[in-house]
Structure 1
Amino acid sequence: MNFIPDQIDMCIMDILQEDARTTNKEIAARLGKSVTSIFERVKRLEAEGYILRYIAVLNKNKLGKNLVAWTSITLKEHGQDRFPEFEQKINTFPEVMECYKMNGQFDYLLKVLIADMEAYEVFNFTKLSKLDNIYKIRSLFVLAETKQEVELNLKTGLQTKLQQKNK
């Protein structure tokens, strides 16, 4: 039996996305539910993999990470062992914030967060381009961020799941 979060579960996840430090007592008060029922719901959402972890969103600029680069990678060889090998190596680089396996013009898209262009050049030439099996590296540099979200819009997802559940 597949667990599908209901409207209350979605509200709980919305509240926790907004502020992961919100207590079960505060959530219960906002939703008009008991603390015990909220505790049980949160534990179930965690156990079912809907809530993966709790984090703090940091100000990258205050921490000296002022340059965002979107870097596409094309591999020379595409054997079954070549993709996991690349992914394992790229996951060791702290500069790489996100890595997506793609289809189309290139194999991977990386979000690289680094201090400045000089630091990116060092990263590119001492780490990235030294990886075995790299055919092509292309980078785009962010001039300004106009939107950055870490919260998922659950209202649309809730409607879709409820429609599927009621079929």
Structure 2
Amino acid sequence: MENLDKTDLQILKHLQENSNINTKDLASKLFLTVTPVYERIKRLERDGFITKYVALLDRKKMNRGMTVFCNVRLKEHAKNVGSNFVKDIVALPEIIECYNIAGDYDFMLKILVQDMASYQDFVMNKLSTIENIGNTNSIFVMGEIKYSTALEF
């Protein structure tokens, strides 16, 4: 963050709140003209501070209202085994996040499905077909207390 000044940070804050804001409106909020704001945004993109722009969808309206965290322990830990597991996990659209973790388990998956029946189908017909899974532990989200994609600074 050492290359970012106060204006850069304000731009990033506004873009996190609404990445669809046009440059003219953003410049107005920052009391600047359009050209320097545009150039700063392009620099922030080029330097990798802004990696992508997305639309956040309502999970319930998209029939993905149930969130499950599933911890996975592998039977073996050889490099090719882990690589194959990751390749298989990335191919499953129900899994929206996957983390390699330390502790009792090797991976933590964030899975979005419609309901318990959908999760059962996912486990029985997709997750259980992946080789080298030793065991799993599913944690079902009863209520979402805090959800944010914004980084605070």
Q: TM-score range by the shorter chain?
A: over 0.9
- Aligned counterpart, 1:51: 50
TM (normalized to structure 2)? 0.95
Identity of aligned residues (%): 35
Query: 2: distance between equivalents of 1:25 and 1:84?
Result: 46
The secondary structure found in structure 2 opposite 1:74 is strand
How many angstroms does 1:56 deviate by? 1.1
How many angstroms does 1:113 deviate by? 0.2
- Aligned counterpart, 2:22: 23
- Aligned counterpart, 2:85: 86
Query: 2: distance between equivalents of 1:104 and 1:141?
Result: 20
Q: Letter of the 2:83 partner, please give it.
A: P
Following superposition of structure 1 onto structure 2, how do residues 10-159 of structure 1 map, counting pairs within 5 Å?
10-154=9-153
Query: 1: distance between equivalents of 2:64 and 2:80?
Result: 33
How many angstroms does 1:54 deviate by? 0.8
Q: CA RMSD in A?
A: 1.3
Q: Which runs of 4+ in 1 moved over 6 A?
A: none
How many angstroms does 1:7 deviate by? 1.4
How many angstroms does 1:117 deviate by? 0.5
How many angstroms does 1:3 deviate by? 6.9
The secondary structure found in structure 1 opposite 2:64 is coil
The answer as to whether partners of 1:3 and 1:48 remain within 8 angstroms in 2 is no
The secondary structure found in structure 1 opposite 2:126 is helix
The secondary structure found in structure 2 opposite 1:129 is helix
Unaligned runs of 5+ residues in structure 1 are 155-167
Unaligned runs of 5+ residues in structure 2 are none
TM (normalized to structure 1)? 0.88
